[in-house]
Structure 1
Amino acid sequence: MEELVSAIAAEGTSVADFANLTVPESFRGVVVLAGEVDMFEGLSPRDRDPGKSLHVHDVATPEPGPGEVLVAVMASSINYNTVWSSIFEPMDTFRFLKRYARTGPLAARHDQPYHVLGSDLAGVVLRTGAGVRRWRPGDRVVAHCLSVELNEPDGHDDTMLDPEQRIWGYETNFGGLAELALVKANQLMPKPAHLTWEEGAASGLVNSTAYRQLVSRNGAAMKQGDVVLIWGAGGGLGSYATQLVLNGGGVPVCVVSGADKEARVREMGAGLVINRADEDFQFWTGDDAADPREWRRFGTRIRELTGGDDPDIVFEHPGRQTFGVSVYVARRGGTVVTCASSSGYRHEYDNRYLWMGLKRIVGSHFANYREAWEANRLIAKGMVHPTLSTVYSLADAGEAARQVHGNQHSGKVGVLCLAPREGLGVTDPETRARHVNAINRFRTASG
């Protein structure tokens, strides 16, 4: 691994030099273990501790097959799917790996007694399999997490509709929280040259997800002037949604859970903010019943901020805690677009407000390659910025996931893999200098 890191750090290392590097027979990766899937039995999801189930183990290096690429991972990040994997909720991810393994010989390699997690990376191409033409050893890349087979017609208009669509590092093995990762060639995108490794690794999943959810015709197709209610605007997903709304001429109404997160979204340029900690909105009563009176109070607060407008779009991802009020506050003919359910999958809402208000609920899941590429292009152009807050070592990935599980973080939480320290990987210092304040907006003390 030291030879790899030295080659990446050196100026002038050629394609041939990278191609001739020795590929280690094994590497360190953050894993959950098949033998531990029952370790949290009897505990509620909120009481399960990712730090107990996530381990750093040596695993055998897979050989890239046709259309695949082996990447030396400099940095990765924590997403909520890593938390789901680590607490075995709503199911253990080894079921995904076994199901995938049944589809063919290449996929069979993913069925292991360990699952290497992680759905983001920034790194360097090390080896390419047969048929890979766009990428060469030595290319600096980031990865999005869509893994598709495209053997069926369904996915050829929108690859997210492929019956064999999976999320890499969650529904496949050999993810990005590791020193090496195995990806499909059509997951790769150019690393933004003005960012460090850890900054480059922060955006792939959440920025692409927010782009499809808000901007794409496959999501809410946001237009200029749209009022967009953004839940969790100071978190990983919401912080990108806020930037996309501002960048696209929309009006974000940002919901946050504390003063620090309020300060961050205001620094991004959002002027309409609801701090739930200060205003004490409680959408559920003590007996676990929805409270429509709080829905009405929340809707009134939104109109106070917007000058009387209800949201054209509600950017949903908390799920159970907020879904009922999201349907209620969306304007007549408005759209609730949802991509997750971090507070619970079983939603309750009053359907009268949906059908009589002619509202729409749109399901949105990650992004296709084109959408991810466009989202990454905005990062590369300095129009959207990573919202990295804290960086941990690979050995401390369990603590990083614990922070995300407990909502104790702002923006994105990064993890160094092969990068020996923060601050490396920048090849365009001029562009960085123009945007450095925005890039560092979410930074806090390192873990």
Structure 2
Amino acid sequence: MNEILDAILAPDTTSADFAGLTLPESYRAVTVHKDEAEMFAGLESKEKDPRKSLHVDDVPVPELGPGEALVAVMASSVNYNSVWTSIFEPVSTFGFLERYGKLSPLTKRHDLPYHVIGSDLAGVVLRTGPGVNAWGPGDEVVAHCLSVELESSDGHNDTMLDPEQRIWGFETNFGGLAEIALVKSNQLMPKPQHLSWEEAASPGLVNSTAYRQLVSQNGAGMKQGDNVLIWGASGGLGSYATQFALAGGANPICVVSSDQKAEICRKMGAEAIIDRNAEGYKFWKDEHNQDPKEWKRFGKRIRELTGGEDVDIVFEHPGRETFGASVYVTRKGGTIVTCASTSGYNHQYDNRYLWMSLKRIVGSHFANYREAWEANRLISKGKIHPTLSKTYSLEETGQAAYDVHRNLHQGKVGVLALAPEEGMGVRDEEMRAKHLDAINRFRNV
């Protein structure tokens, strides 16, 4: 690995030099272990500690197949799917690996007693398999997390509809929280030149997810002038949704849980902000009953911030805790678009407010390659910026996942893999200087 890192850090290493590097037999990776899948049995979610389940192991370099690439990972990041994997919720990810392993002799590689996790990376291509023409050794890349087989016609209009669509590093093995990752070549995108490795690694999953959910016609199809209610507007997903709303001429109504998070939204340029803790919103009376009076109070507060208008779009991802309120406050004919359920999967809402007001609920999951490419292009052009707040070492990934699980973080948290320190990998200093305040926005709060 030292030889690979030296080649990446050297200013004059050629593609041929990278192609000639000897691959190591093993590499360090963040893993969960199959024989520990029941370690948290009987505990509440909040009591499950990723620091106990995430390991840093030496694992063998996987065999390279057709249409694939091995990437030296300089940096990665922690997403909520890494938290789910670490606490074995809602199910153990080893079930995903077992099912994928049955698809073909090649996918059998993924069915192992350990799972290398992580759905983001920024790094350098080391090897490509047969049939890969667009990428080669030495290319500096980021990876989006859609792994798709594309052998079914169902996936050729929108690859997210492919029956063999999976999230890399969550439903497949050999993810990005490691020194080397195995990806399909159609996961690769150019690394934004003005960003460091850890900054470039942090947007991938959440940026692409927010783009499809809010901007794409496969999601809400946001337009200029729309009022967009964004839950968790300073978090990993919400911080990108807020940026897309502002960049697209919409009006974000940012829901946060503290003054600090409200200040982040103001620094992004948002003006309409609701601190749900300070204003005391409690949408559930108890475990089984919601409080419609709180929905109405919430809707009234929104109209105070919008000049009397209801929201056109609700950017939903908390799920159970907020979904009833989301359906209620959406305007007639509006859209509730949901991509996750971090507070619970069993949503409850009053259907009268949906059907009688002709509202739509749209499910949105990650993004297809084109959507991910467009989202990354906006990062590369400096239109959308990373929301990195803190960076951890590979050995500290358990703590990073713990912080995300407990909502102790802002924006995104990064993880250094091969990169020896933060701030490396910037190729366009002039462009970086133009956007430095925005790049560091979440670090400076």
- Give the TM-score of the pair, scaled to structure 2: 0.99
1:262/1:273 contact within 8 Å kept = yes
Partners of 1:286 and 1:115 in 2: CA distance:
38
1:68/1:183 contact within 8 Å kept = yes
Partners of 1:31 and 1:259 in 2: CA distance:
36
1:4 paired residue number: 4
1:166 paired residue number: 166
Question: What do the CA deviations read for 1:302-334 (whole angstroms, capped 9, x no partner)?
Answer: 000001111100000000000000000000000
- Cα offset for 1:63? 2.1
Q: What is the correspondence of 1:16-415 to structure 2 with a 5 Å cutoff?
A: 16-415=16-415
Partners of 1:287 and 1:353 in 2: CA distance:
22
1:73/1:181 contact within 8 Å kept = yes
Partners of 1:327 and 1:217 in 2: CA distance:
20
Percent of residue pairs bearing the same amino acid type: 70
Partners of 1:134 and 1:232 in 2: CA distance:
37
Partners of 1:301 and 1:31 in 2: CA distance:
45
Aligned residue pairs, count:
445
- Cα offset for 1:12? 1.3
**Partner SS, residue 278 of structure 2:** helix
Q: Specify the code of the residue in structure 1 equivalent to 2:280.
A: D
Partners of 2:55 and 2:261 in 1: CA distance:
30
**Partner SS, residue 13 of structure 1:** coil
Question: What do the CA deviations read for 1:75-115 (whole angstroms, capped 9, x no partner)?
Answer: 00000000000000000000000000000011000000000
Q: Specify the code of the residue in structure 2 equivalent to 1:311.
A: V
Q: Specify the code of the residue in structure 2 equivalent to 1:411.
A: G
Partners of 1:35 and 1:89 in 2: CA distance:
15
**Partner SS, residue 64 of structure 1:** coil
**Partner SS, residue 195 of structure 1:** coil
2:420 paired residue number: 420
Partners of 1:77 and 1:259 in 2: CA distance:
25
Partners of 1:287 and 1:241 in 2: CA distance:
30
**Partner SS, residue 31 of structure 2:** strand
**Partner SS, residue 237 of structure 2:** helix
Partners of 1:19 and 1:213 in 2: CA distance:
38
1:149/1:164 contact within 8 Å kept = yes
- Cα offset for 1:286? 3.1
Partners of 1:426 and 1:146 in 2: CA distance:
26
Q: Specify the code of the residue in structure 1 equivalent to 2:65.
A: G
1:211/1:375 contact within 8 Å kept = yes
Unaligned ranges ≥5, structure 2: none
Q: Specify the code of the residue in structure 2 equivalent to 1:412.
A: K
Distance 1:287 1:151, change over 3 A: closer
1:302/1:310 contact within 8 Å kept = yes
Q: Could you say what the CA RMSD is over the residues aligned between the two structures, in angstroms?
A: 0.8
- Cα offset for 1:288? 3.5
Q: Specify the code of the residue in structure 2 equivalent to 1:229.
A: L
Question: What do the CA deviations read for 1:89-143 (whole angstroms, capped 9, x no partner)?
Answer: 0000000000000000110000000000000000000000001000010000000
Question: What do the CA deviations read for 1:367-397 (whole angstroms, capped 9, x no partner)?
Answer: 0000000000000000000000010000000
Q: Specify the code of the residue in structure 1 equivalent to 2:122.
A: A
- Cα offset for 1:444? 5.4
Partners of 1:248 and 1:288 in 2: CA distance:
39
Runs of 4+ residues over 2 Å off in structure 1: none
